[in-house]
Amino acid sequence: VPHESTAFDIVVLPGDGIGPEITAAAVDVLHAVGARHDRDFRFHRHLIGGAAIDATGEALPAATLDAAQRADAVLLGAVGGPKWSDPKAPVQPEQGLLAIRKAMGLYANLRPVAPHPAALGASPIKPHLLNGVDMIVVRELTGGVYFGEKTRTATTASDLCEYSVAEIERVVRRACTLARTRRGKVTSVDKANVLETSRLWRETATRVVADEFPDITLEHQLVDSMAMHLLSRPRDYDVVVTENMFGDILTDEASMLAGSLGLLPSASLGEGRAGLYEPIHGSAPDIAGRGIANPYATILSAALLLRHSLGLEQEARCIEDAVSAALDAGVFTADLAPQGQAVSTREATAAVLAQLD
């Protein structure tokens, strides 16, 4: 469904470390794509994380949250770094990220994993297993054991794992809707042989697909065997949907299929169209300010933003094709390049911009 208006408000949250460098790259690319397709993208920069703590004392200032809640989409760099890492400090940069996700009601985290042929050598997995891998992991983001009640006595500890039918339904629907735009297959991952929440998960997923998505092929997989199959037959997966903690673990595992952290984008989505888009990597303080960070993950996050929040599929593809062409041409930043062959963040961005033409 095309957006009614051609003006789009995009909130940009550079954050910390390499955040400002990589979001600047993605904004340049969005600008260029917008100009070519006659789209009016309006960028609004705001503070989050350590940069916000330095300026205001808060990791998520009210002005930032307010702008994010009114925007069509949010593009984020990364937050955190050694300057703010004292655990005794009153505020941590990461709290800003948790707070904005919660306030925006973002319950589904999408991580596409499609290793690029030119970058297969960067993965620890054998190239012949990676050819043709193209999956999206949809991780539930608001429930499960991470948010359950925690108790502690001198000799015991417990974390409650809880899910409601409504929480499972909405994320399964999101996965199925996504699968309809792809190969029509959904793999639901649980531990239904031992966990009650997983039995509810499995029953709910089965019912949602039977009632609302009869065209989707649903398979159930236990999380332990999934951990193995992700590495032994990653080609078999299209859309993978799972609860919060399993998704946390499996998405880090899946990221290794693509080689570098610097290539992987993500989208966090809620009930409406608005979403938050960020690379899966962190603020990389070890290389911040040197102009050598890989901008591709953030540029690809901008493509996801166009696709999922603005409904601009054609423009999203343009960006993805341009990054792909830059990789094909061997335009690699230091995380991907052999010694001495690396280009800078700006050169990699310029290569993507040149490929848009």
Binding site for ligand ATP (CB under 6 A): 18, 78, 80, 261-262, 281-284, 286-287, 293-294, 297, 333, 335
Number of residues that bind Mg ion (CB under 5 A): 1
**Is residue 224 annotated as part of the catalytic site, yes or no?**
yes
150 in a labelled binding site: no
Q: Per the residue annotation, which of 40, 54, 66, 224 is the catalytic one?
A: 224
Interface region with Mg ion, contact rule CB under 5 A, candidates 122-130, 202-210, 274-282, 325-333: 274-282
Q: Per the residue annotation, which of 102, 134, 146, 236 is the catalytic one?
A: 146
> Rounded to whole angstroms, how far apart are CA atoms 263 and 17?
17
Give the residue closest to Mg ion by C-beta: 282
User: How many C-beta atoms lie closer than 10 Å to residue 101's C-beta?
Assistant: 18
15 in a labelled binding site: no
Q: Which is nearer to ligand ATP, 129 or 245 (CB)?
A: 245
Residues 6+ apart with CB under 8 A from 139: 108, 109, 110, 111, 242, 243, 244, 246, 247, 248, 250, 251
Question: Which residue spans within the chain are E strands per DSSP?
Answer: 7-15, 40-45, 73-78, 108-113, 135-140, 150-152, 157-159, 185-190, 217-222, 239-242, 265-269, 275-279
**Is residue 252 annotated as part of the catalytic site, yes or no?**
yes
Angle at the Cα of 157 from the Cα atoms of 154 and 160, rounded to 5 degrees: 150
**Is residue 146 annotated as part of the catalytic site, yes or no?**
yes
Q: Which option in ligand ATP, Mg ion, none does residue 64 bind, with CB closer than 5 to 8 A by kind?
A: none
Q: Is the dihedral of CA 263, 11, 244, 182 positive or negative?
A: negative
Q: Per the residue annotation, which of 40, 66, 215, 252 is the catalytic one?
A: 252
Give the pair of three-digit tokens for residue 356.
Answer: 């848009």
**Residue 335: CB minimum distance to ligand ATP, A:** 4
> Rounded to whole angstroms, how far apart are CA atoms 129 and 151?
44
Give the pair of three-digit tokens for residue 208.
Answer: 């949602």
Q: Which option in Mg ion, ligand ATP, none does residue 119 bind, with CB closer than 5 to 8 A by kind?
A: none
> Rounded to whole angstroms, how far apart are CA atoms 51 and 18?
12
User: CA torsion, points 315, 263, 67, 72, in degrees to nearest 10?
Assistant: 30
158 in a labelled binding site: no
Q: Which is nearer to ligand ATP, 21 or 140 (CB)?
A: 21
326 in a labelled binding site: no
Q: Which of 103, 106, 183 is nearest to 138 (CA)?
A: 106
Q: Per the residue annotation, which of 134, 159, 236, 248 is the catalytic one?
A: 248
- The CA-atom distances, in angstroms, between 330 and each of 192, 222, 290, 333 are 45, 39, 21, 9
Q: Residue 140, Cα to own-chain centre: how many angstroms?
A: 12
Q: Which of 345, 168, 147 is nearest to 242 (CA)?
A: 168
Q: Per the residue annotation, which of 28, 163, 190, 191 is the catalytic one?
A: 191
Q: Which is nearer to ligand ATP, 133 or 300 (CB)?
A: 300
Give the pair of three-digit tokens for residue 184.
Answer: 């029509």
**Is residue 9 annotated as part of the catalytic site, yes or no?**
no
159 in a labelled binding site: no
293 in a labelled binding site: yes
112 in a labelled binding site: no
Q: Which is nearer to ligand ATP, 19 or 275 (CB)?
A: 19
Q: Which option in ligand ATP, Mg ion, none does residue 112 bind, with CB closer than 5 to 8 A by kind?
A: none
String of contacts with Mg ion for each residue 150-179, x by CB under 5 A: ------------------------------
Give the residue closest to ligand ATP by C-beta: 282
> Rounded to whole angstroms, how far apart are CA atoms 238 and 316?
19
Q: Which is nearer to Mg ion, 256 or 350 (CB)?
A: 256
**Residue 297: CB minimum distance to Mg ion, A:** 12
Binding residues for Mg(2+): 224, 248, 252
Binding residues for NAD(+): 81-94, 282-294
Residues that bind Mg ion (CB under 5 A): 282
Binding residues: 81-94, 101, 111, 139, 224, 248, 252, 282-294
Enumerate the active-site residues.
Answer: 146, 191, 224, 248, 252
